[in-house]
Amino acid sequence: MSVRERDSGFPGFANPVDPRPEELRAWAYHPESVPLDTMPFDWDLLISGDVLGPTLFELAMDRQCPARRFALHCMYIYAADGVRSNATSQRKRRLKKYIERAEEVGDEPMAIWAHNCRVLSTRPELFDYQEWIEGGLVRHPRRLALFGRR
């Protein structure tokens, strides 16, 4: 997104339950225009799918994005869904690419996310709803241990 696009403001979502990637991107640079607490219930779960996955990953990788923590939270949701045994092969492939990209060029929060995704894919029994879906790993960032206790 260009500086001009970031500075132009956010006019709102045509349909907040199913936002377009460009709407989500515009909102992420002006999140105060539509606060999260005014969004539909479980908005994070609604948007953390394959359609917005690339946009959410881009926002989570952008250190300058005001809504970066929210995007990272959505990427934890995306990843938790992507390591399930019945996840689509497309989701698994995309998740693998995101993990590799985060490991290659991501900063510490993204490196932690990538590490945690790899741990969860190896040990799915370590899934904890509060940590992965409710944002615990974003609020309290840490690397999950592959062996031993959570």
Handedness of CA 102, 138, 66, 43 (dihedral sign): positive
The arithmetic mean of pLDDT across residues 16-37, rounded, is 90
Q: What is the rounded average pLDDT for all residues in the chain? A: 90
User: Which residue in 139, 62, 66, 64 sits closest to 102, CA to CA?
Assistant: 62
The whole-angstrom separation of Cα 116 and Cα 93 is 17
**Mean pLDDT calculated for residue range 9-38:** 88
- The predicted structure's pLDDT at residue 143: 97
For the chain, the structural domain boundaries read 3-139
Res 1: pLDDT:
45
Cβ(18)–Cβ(43) below 8 Å: no
pLDDT at 76: 98
| Poorest-pLDDT segment among 43-52, 83-92, 101-110, 116-125 | 83-92
Whether pTM exceeds 0.85 = yes
pLDDT of residue 32: 85
